A = this chain, B = another copy of it.
Amino acid sequence: MLLRLIYINIINESVDALEEHFIERLSKLVSIPSVSCTASNRPDVFRVADVIYQEMIKLGIDAEKRHPGTQTIDGEQIDLPPVLFGKYGYDKNKKTVLIYGDPASISDGWRTDPWKLVYCKETDRLYGRGATDDKGPLIGWLNAIEAFQKANIEIPVNLVFCFEGMEESGSVGLYELIQEEADKYFSNVDCICISDNYWLGTKKPCLSYGLRGIVCYTITITGPPADLHSGIFGGITYEPMTDLIYLLSSLVKPNGSILIPGIMDKVQPLTPEEKALYENISISMEEIEHSLGSKTLIYDNTRCTLMHRWRYPSLSIHGIEGAYSSPGIKTVIPSRVSGKVSIRLVPDMDCEEVTVLVKKHLESVFATLGSKNVLSVEPNKGAKAWLSPVNHWNYRAASKAIEKIYGVAPDFTREGGSIPVVLTMESCLKKNVLLLPMGRGDDGPHSINEKLDRSNYVQGIKLFGTYLCELAAV
């Protein structure tokens, strides 16, 4: 215990000594425009993989590039970027932790050069695309290794790496690769750590133990074979748009209550233990309103608000395909319209069961309309919710590390959205997954002016190192 504390102190001093070098290293990564969703930037995704590969080799990691195949993008068949695998340490007496990271971005709307890491002294922030999502955290792990090395301290766990370039574009090819290597490359993995999310707010670190799932539906009403003149046919024919609007209005109330019978039956009841996790979470209504940008929250307290973000399902109507959607007025009756709807799932909601309920509800409401149009309901994609036991040793180790670095016990949080790679890792490897964020809730990943606070970067590197030490001890 005492020795561990001394080691951790030494490593952290090593991090402080290397700070400028670590900033330089992140700067180098951010300068590569690795956008994964366009064909023209694909060579840059290869470049960023190569730079990280070289860094891994330099640190003594047994790194290798795996090639998941090809994909068609912008009409071109192009190679998927390599997934970087790596191993560091093979001691059978140590735990083995799998570290995941993704160093490529999506395209977004920056007004300044997003491919240059800019340090703003006044705010102590590092601005740049990918700074917080996910180049900073990824390179943070390599920095932590270097800190151990420079301090001449042996890392008390074995490390396995999986860095992919396609996370922001659906992790194409990753599931198959992980599945195939589950009993081979990844056979010794004891736990998994992913640093690809954020603190809830801006002041207190957190550990995340849950994600909502999602299932999407395309609800289509088909009427006549072509769009109609509303002067000629308005009032005499069943209009697909009117039917669809009626169906969509039967799904959810403006206050967020889902109206589909049976949909709430599988939602896990709230236990006193779970409720207790919400008691001291460090976030105010003002912070949530600030992130929303308006005062249009449904609930007037943070507990209800967070529960409805994390542990209750929600239903959103995203749009309608086939109807007029431009500025101005076009008075045509669309012949075929499709409503796009998603439901955020929570434990223990099952995609297939939800789909049965959605279809049954829509079909029975549609039957009451007496319309002669045709209804179809197509589920589009599904990912179930994810929930990790917060008393797992992986979480305990991370919690202790946070207390050491930040002097405060972490909030235990969930996320309202999905991170598909979490499900991929857990379902393929059957090991505990921990979400250990480096950045803050206002970092703005995928947004203009994405940033990572310099202190979060530096403390995050220390946190990673400390976590590895605590892992060995739990």
Given the known interface contacts A231-B416, A318-B230, A323-B319, the answer about A296 and B241 at a Cβ–Cβ threshold of 8 Å is: no
Which residues of chain A (327-359) have a CB below 8 Å from chain B?
Answer: 327-334, 340, 342, 344
Interface residues on A, range: 35 or more
Per-residue contact bits, chain A 213-247, to B (CB 8 Å; 1 contact, 0 not): 01010100001111011111111111101110110
Q: CB distance B416 to A319 under 8 Å?
A: no
Interface assignment of A123: CB less than 8 Å from any CB of chain B: no
Chain B residue at minimal CB-CB distance from A417: B231
Chain B residue at minimal CB-CB distance from A447: B226
Interface assignment of A418: CB less than 8 Å from any CB of chain B: yes
Stretch from A61-69, A124-132, A177-185, A308-316 forming part of the interface with B? A308-316
Q: CB distance A317 to B256 under 8 Å?
A: no
- Cross-chain contact of A232 among B254, B296, B309, B381 (Cβ < 8 A): B309
Copies in the complex: 2
Interface assignment of A248: CB less than 8 Å from any CB of chain B: yes
A residues in contact (CB < 8 Å) with B: 212, 214, 216, 218, 223-226, 228-239, 241-243, 245-246, 248-249, 252-256, 288, 291-299, 305, 308-309, 312-334, 340, 342, 344, 369-373, 380-381, 415-418
Q: Offer 29 A-B interface pairs, CB within 8 angstroms, sorted by A.
A: A214-B231, A216-B329, A223-B294, A225-B294, A230-B316, A230-B417, A231-B416, A232-B309, A235-B256, A235-B298, A235-B309, A235-B313, A236-B256, A236-B299, A236-B305, A236-B308, A239-B256, A241-B317, A242-B316, A245-B248, A246-B253, A296-B372, A316-B333, A318-B331, A318-B332, A318-B333, A319-B323, A320-B320, A321-B324
Closest 8 CB pairs of A and B: A231-B417, A235-B314, A319-B324, A319-B323, A234-B314, A249-B249, A325-B325, A224-B294
